[in-house]
Chains A and B, each alone.
Chain A
Amino acid sequence: PAFPLAGECQEKVEEGKAYSPDGVFAYLEMLEARAHKAAVKQEETEQQEEKLARLKARVEELRLQRDELRAKVDLQQKRQLGKEGGVSNPAQPSARAVLEWKIKSIKAMLEVFYLTGISGKLTKRGVCFCISTAYEGTYLDSYHLDLLTKPEVQIYRHSVPIFIPLQQIAKKYLQTDIRRFLSVLSDHLNAYAGRRYQADQLQEHFSDQIEGTLQRNSLCNLLVFNYKVPSKSKTFPFNVRLLYGDLCCSLPTEVVISCTPNAPASLAETAAAHSDLFRRVALHKVFRSFSSA
């Protein structure tokens, strides 16, 4: 607490008495200013002390690091010298280093779980799973499932898109084989993410080869559109209908390509070749190959 010295105060008070009543406010103002100044000063000193403490802690930290490194160097040297089983004195890693290593390895483990696509965390009433999707190296959306485990395993809430047949999959596997449930659901979600990614890529990068609109649906399991292959001569557009019969698959199960009635017969061969291509290769890659051909 910053108060002016007692003696000083009295003096000032007496001084104040000498002034007219109007001076009271000025006097109060002066007191306030003084208190403020003292407070600021004190804060400064406190900040200095804080800074000092921080620096001291930093010094400690650095000393510790230096010790660790020294120990490592010693160990290294000893290993070089005493290979024939001399009593080496392995430097005891400090408790702090052990803790840091543990944290790092756990974080890495969790990262691995996340990267595999299915990770979970125990909650008060059950488990919360996170299913992450990816397609050919690109990470896409994550979806969550909050499960209760008592009285039986049930889904409390989730963020799975409504058009994924979650209830169907749950009915089949949730009670009996939770691993299978998660695996099947993950397959559905990943395949959906993959199909959507391909369709988005197509619309984004190859819109010049598409005539009209790309007809799609929520699950991206039926795509219908007209396209033409880039070529110097006049090209006839193809109409393609891609049906993805297997919801766990990101490639179509059925491809129907048709040409306009006035197209030359030779195009039938091309259509057949394309049909095969669409069945085997990802959609945007097919179009990329058209551009580069």
Chain B
Amino acid sequence: MDETVAEYIRRTVLKIPRDEIKTMLQKWGFLSEAQLQTINFHQIKENISQEVVQLCEENSADIKQAAVLDIIYNHIYPNKRVWSVYQMNKTGEETEFFDLTDFKKKFKRRLRSALKNVTINFREYDDNAIWIRIAWGTPYTKPNQYKTSYVVYHSQTPYVFISASVLKSNMPLLCQALLVASNYCDIREMELRSHSLNSLKDIVFKRYSQNFQTYYPRPLQERNVAPESADIRIIQENKNEKERIQRLNREVFGDGPQPKLEFAQYKLETMFKSDPKMDVLDKREPFRCLVKFSSPHLLESLKSLAPAGMADAPLSPLLTCIPQKARNYFKIREKKGLFPGSFVSP
């Protein structure tokens, strides 16, 4: 077995939390159950990984199999990477049949025709997600297994989720291969990025909770009513206001959990509005400014702003439009019309 493969497997196993190593190796399926029984999973990870490499040596693992372990790891821990969303367009209106074998063949062929030194692996999951792992090399060097790009694609959808490696120069190549394989015409990067792959999927596939008004008697969700204090002498003075805020919040954010985003960034290119007498700027040019909101869970924190009394309800549509507009990077230019959304540029 190649030294580089052994080292790669060793490093991949080291990334896995100790309690998960056994399950992940089982999912991988490259080592037999009997072989797995011989490993002591209670020792330190260094030793576990050495034992794993030893067994892989016995089975003569090659880079393709090692890459599968890497895909499995990234599929279970996708939040360690930053994902961007790309949108594809097509002009034709024929029904898509999406043949998986066809897709894989076309993708590999297109990519390899432009760059021979690539390692390409595919893995399909039950939710129709196709994971593609690409390790990039150059025309003169072998693929670097530590510089990988991941692509997640759901068949018959116009969205692709890409976690690119450092090498941005390979993006055009990757995009081309995707277009050819999926039978679309062009592709562009959306202004939507996050660590949480599932949340990005929720946003573009519209799987997040939107509060639709229906007559159908859905089971009433138990609202989070703080237990009324048993002492009836305590009265809520602001009950009406509290209820108004709750109602507005539910209308905007829905009842369910919000997609998980870490940032919202607003690039302002608007004119500084000051007292003309102050004359802060000699020239009338846009005052460039970048406003960035960051949070472990941005949308949940926006949702709790008004109930916590930290902001007025309703919140600015610039904040609440994020899931619906499927973007968290905005450019705001000078207002031309009245509706704020109209001057948010693509």
Contacts and interface: CB of A to CB of B under 8 A. Distances in A.
Contact of A218 (B93, B98, B216): B98
A160 interface: yes
Interface string A148-164: 00000000011111110
B244 interface: no
Nearest to A127: B213
Contacts of A123: 213
Interface in B108-130: 124, 128
Nearest to A124: B213
Contacts of B216: 110, 114, 119, 130, 142
Given A119-B216, A159-B210, A217 B158 contact: no
Interface stretch (B10-18, B149-157, B330-338): B149-157
A217 B98 contact: yes
B214 A222 contact: no
A110 B215 contact: yes
B222 interface: no
Contact of B210 (A157, A165, A217): A157
Chain B interface helix/strand/loop/mixed = loop
A113 B217 CA distance: 12
Most buried by A among B95, B157, B204: B95
Contacts of A119: 214-216
Interface size of B as a range: 20 to 34
Most buried by B among A161, A216, A218: A218
A144 B210 contact: yes
Interface string A110-121: 100110000101
Chain A interface helix/strand/loop/mixed = mixed
Interface size of A as a range: 20 to 34
Nearest to B96: A219
B212 interface: yes
B100 interface: yes
Interface in B169-218: 204-207, 210, 212-217
A162 B156 CA distance: 8
B97 A243 contact: yes
Contact of A146 (B154, B158, B212): B212
Interface in A187-220: 213, 215-219
Most buried by B among A128, A217, A245, A247: A217
B215 A160 contact: no
Nearest to B206: A159
B73 interface: no
B128 A217 contact: yes
Nearest to A132: B216
B212 A163 contact: no
Most buried by B among A119, A144, A158, A247: A144
A21 B127 CA distance: 76
Contacts of B157: 162-163, 218
Nearest to A171: B93
B54 interface: no
B40 interface: no
Contacts of B215: 110, 113-114, 119, 121
A137 B128 CA distance: 26
A67 B324 CA distance: 56
B205 A162 contact: yes
A128 B158 CA distance: 25
Contact of B156 (A107, A121, A213, A219): A219
Interface of B: 93, 95-101, 124, 128, 154-159, 204-207, 210, 212-217, 324
30 contacts: A110-B215, A110-B216, A114-B215, A123-B213, A128-B214, A130-B212, A130-B214, A130-B216, A157-B210, A159-B206, A160-B206, A162-B158, A162-B159, A162-B205, A163-B154, A163-B155, A213-B124, A215-B101, A217-B97, A217-B128, A217-B156, A218-B98, A218-B154, A218-B155, A218-B156, A219-B156, A221-B95, A222-B99, A224-B99, A245-B95
Interface of A: 107, 110, 113-114, 119, 121, 123, 128, 130, 142, 144, 146, 157-163, 165, 168, 213, 215-219, 221-222, 224, 243, 245, 247
